[in-house]
Amino acid sequence: AQSVTQLGSHVSVSEGALVLLRCNYSSSVPPYLFWYVQYPNQGLQLLLKYTSAATLVKGINGFEAEFKKSETSFHLTKPSAHMSDAAEYFCAVSEEGGATNKLIFGTGTLLAVQP
């Protein structure tokens, strides 16, 4: 069975500092991986996705993620945090097999940005 694990339920950074949110995956086949962001009282918005085309994936709002097969990781980064980045971030993997494209989500990381 596929799964993702997000290390750190809460991350706090200063405005302008590097953002690093960690995600490790478990999959017996090449995975399709996603990062979503959720602002308070909102749905989920796709930041970026990995579909095996390139290991470094660039997304919206200056975020990017690197797929590392040897480390089974797909960490999310942003060089300089902005106050508007404060939100909850979810890593997800698309389930392999079956008749759906359902997403399996991690437990989320709440990002706080300090002024």
Partner 1 sequence: DAGVTQSPTHLIKTRGQHVTLRCSPISGHKSVSWYQQVLGQGPQFIFQYYEKEERGRGNFPDRFSARQFPNYSSELNVNALLLGDSALYLCASSKSLSRGNTEAFFGQGTRLTVV
Q: Name the residues that contact partner 1, by CB under 8 A.
A: 32, 36, 41-46, 49, 51-52, 90, 92, 94-96, 98-108
Rg of the Cα atoms in the chain: 14
Backbone angles phi, psi at 26, to 5 degrees: -130, 120
Min separation Cβ 18 and partner 1, Å: 24
The residue among 56 and 99 lying less far from partner 1, judged by its C-beta, is 99
- Rounded CA gap, 59 and 71, in Å? 21
Residue 115: CB minimum distance to partner 1, A? 26
Query: Which of 21, 85, 94 is closest to 52 using CA atoms?
Result: 94
Please report how close the Cβ of residue 45 comes to partner 1 at its closest, in angstroms: 7
Is the CB of 6 or the CB of 73 nearer to partner 1? Answer: 6
Q: Tell the residue number behind the tokens 């596929």, with chain if given.
A: 2
Pick between residue 46 and residue 112 the one whose CB is nearest to partner 1: 46
Nearer to partner 1, 19 or 91 (CB): 91
Q: How far is the CB of 83 from partner 1 (least distance, A)?
A: 22
Contacts of 53 (CB under 8 A, 6+ apart): none
Count CB neighbours of 12 within 10 A: 13
